[in-house]
Amino acid sequence: MIEPGLYNYWIVVFLMMAGLYVVVARGNLIKKLVGLNVFQASVFLLYITMGKVEGGTAPILAEGVTVYSNPLPHVLILTAIVVGVATTALGLALVVRIQEAYGSIEEDELEEKDERDERKLRS
Amino acid sequence: MTATIFMIVRLHNLFAVVMLGGIYSLLAASMFVVLDAVDVAFTEAAVGAGISLVLMLAALSLTKTEEKVASRHGILPLLVVLVTGAALIYGTLDMPHYGDPNAPIQQHVAPTYVADAQAKTTVPNVVTAVLASYRGYDTLGEVVVIFTAGVGVMLLLGDRRRRRRRAEGRE
């Protein structure tokens, strides 16, 4: 049952779950975004390890080299990294706005304030 | 990398967490070099470890640097994460092995790109050839995505100064 050639996936799964745990279990919005980045990087790692060929080299054509790693995952992930930073920037901008509007970036404090405001509206 | 992750989960000082996030990115970049993805490593080091770190620090300077110690220590998140992780590991048992040249991913169009890229685009770097020549329109779409994100950030934060002045005028 033990497959020695699969350890790369297990590393990815571990990192992914650590990121997921931070996103789910922590209430601080900035920490959630860091967790999301960790998760994202683990997905990048998954793609890149899939493209690796035993004995291959970087996909830059050169004399005397015949085995190259798969260039297509590299292209995909290059795009994904840049788009990932764009989404992180947008998320951080939202966090800053939330801090200005509520004076807090803790999830439970935000909920508390929302409930208080709702009660005030009703009464 | 594991130690970095562990500290990210444990620490409550957001400044340290963000810095460790940068270190994590840099470690990921060096791992990409080992895995032959040099272009990806460049981008991860510059964009992932550089720009995102600066953005995070800027956001921190506008908010708080200390996380409130969680009052609830639910077992539910841990359970969800463990079950999902177990399911994913079970899923990997059927995956092709690391570095296997006969894996399905190496059989499809990838050899064609490696064989034809130099002749068709005159660029020796296959990653660049695919990104900028074969899939040039997709890269244009990517730029549109970044532009949209930039516009979004400016709309969210751009009129802060004006609003603050208005608030001061009212008081």
CATH topology for A4-122 is Helix Hairpins (1.10.287)
Predicted confidence at residue B164, as pLDDT, reads 67
Q: Which residues of B are less than 8 Å from A96 in CB distance?
A: 59, 62-63, 156-157
Q: Which residue of A has its CA nearest to B86?
A: A13
Residue partners of A60: CB distance under 8 A and separation at least 6: B38, B124, B125, B126, B127
Contacts of A1 by beta carbon, 8 Å cutoff, 6+ apart: B93
Q: How far apart are CA B26 and CA B45, in angstroms?
A: 6
Provide the pLDDT for residue B71: 54
The tokens for A44 are 């990048």
B56 in reach of chain A (CB within 8 A): yes
For B3, other C-beta atoms within 10 Å of its C-beta total 10
Residue with tokens 């964009």: B47
| Residue type at B169 in one-letter notation | G
Q: How far is CA A8 from CA A11, A38, B14, B149, in A?
A: 5, 16, 30, 33
If one compares A123 and A44, the residue with the highest pLDDT of the two is: A44
Torsion of CA B145, B146, B148, B153, to 10 degrees: 140
Q: What is the model's pLDDT at position B56?
A: 86
DSSP state of A6: G
Q: What is the mean pLDDT of residues A55-60?
A: 75
A1 vs B132 pLDDT, higher one = B132
pLDDT at A29: 85
Q: Give the distance between the most distant pair of CA atoms in chain A.
A: 80
Q: What is the pLDDT of residues B13-43, one digit of tens each?
A: 778 888 888 888 888 888 888 888 888 888 8
Nearest-angstrom CA–CA distance, A116 and A94: 22
- DSSP secondary structure letter of residue A60: B
- pLDDT tens, A74-121? 888 888 888 888 888 899 888 888 888 887 778 778 888 888 888 888
Q: Which of residues 83-122 of B touch A (CB under 8 A)?
A: 84-85, 88-89, 92-93, 95-101, 103, 105-106, 109-110, 113-114, 117-118
With 0-12 / 13-18 / 19 or more C-beta atoms within 10 angstroms meaning exposed / middle / buried, residue B18 is buried
- pLDDT per position as a tens digit, B77-133: 888 888 888 888 888 777 777 777 777 777 777 777 777 777 777 777 777 877 777
Q: Tell me how many residue pairs between chain A and chain B have CB atoms under 8 A apart.
A: 255
Across the range A42-67, mean pLDDT stands at: 79
Per-residue confidence band for A1, with pLDDT thresholds at 50, 70 and 90: very low
Q: Provide mean pLDDT across the span A10-38.
A: 85
> In which region does residue B122 sit, left (phi positive, over 0), alpha (psi from -120 to 50) or beta (all else)?
left
Chain A partners within 8 Å of B66 (Cβ): none
Per-residue pLDDT, averaged over B61-89, amounts to: 77
Cβ contacts of A79 on chain B, cutoff 8 Å? 131, 138-139, 142
What is the per-residue pLDDT for A25? 81
Mean pLDDT for all residues in chain A: 82
Token code pair at residue A11: 């590393």
**Nearest chain A residue to B83, by CA:** A17
Q: Reduced to 3 states, what is the DSSP secondary structure of residue B109? A: coil
Q: Can you read off the two tokens belonging to residue B72?
A: 């609830």
Q: In chain B, what residues touch A9 (CB-CB under 8 Å)?
A: 89, 92, 95
Query: Can you tell me the distance from the alpha carbon of A64 to that of A15, in angstroms, rounded to the nearest whole number?
Result: 37
Q: Write the ipTM.
A: 0.79
Helices (H), chain B: 2-10, 14-34, 38-43, 52-62, 76-92, 104-107, 110-121, 126-128, 136-157, 160-170
